[in-house]
Amino acid sequence: MVSVIWSEFLETFEFASFSVTSVCTAYVDLETGKLYCVSEDLDPELEEAPPDDLETSDRYLALPHKNDLDLGRQLVLAFVRQHLPQEFDKVTGYFHARGAYGRFKDLLDRRGALEAWYTFEQQATESALKQWCERHDIVPVGQ
């Protein structure tokens, strides 16, 4: 088992999962708990260079993307079922075209449900990540 600092783990996950300008992958060192991000957007002069074998060694485990944990469309639909069931068909329709998440957030803003969404999303994210950590013998500390 390896320990990771929970706040750093969350931050790394969010950076990797929500990066819109480039592809970013995050890894945890299964021996030390150290976290690494690999991205075109990171300034190599400001960041520590990742290990050469980061993507090939069993020592490093890639963190999941939010969609791997059903924290994308499925989470939005679960929230709508609970909080805005009358809008379910409308929100489902949003996902048939680009910009669905933006339209969803606009709807939430108009309905005064944006803060409830952020709380729901944060709780679901933390729960899913804790389960993922448990499956991989990673112990989050400082929660």
pLDDT at 47: 61
* Number of domains making up the chain: 2
Q: Hey, what long-range contacts does 53-58 have (CB within 8 A, 24 or more apart)?
A: 54/27, 55/25, 55/27, 58/30
Domain identity same for 80 and 33? no
Euclidean distance between CA atoms 37 and 8, whole angstroms: 12
- pLDDT tens digit sequence for 82-137: 999 999 999 999 999 999 999 999 999 999 999 999 999 999 999 999 999 999 99
pLDDT at 76 (0 to 100): 97
pLDDT for res 30: 97
The reply to whether 35 falls in a domain is yes
Domain encompassing residue 25:
2-64+133-141
Q: What angle do CA 76, 132, 78 make, to 5 degrees?
A: 15
Whether 104 and 89 share a structural domain: yes
Cα angle, residue 20 at apex, residues 62 and 107 outer, rounded to 5°: 115
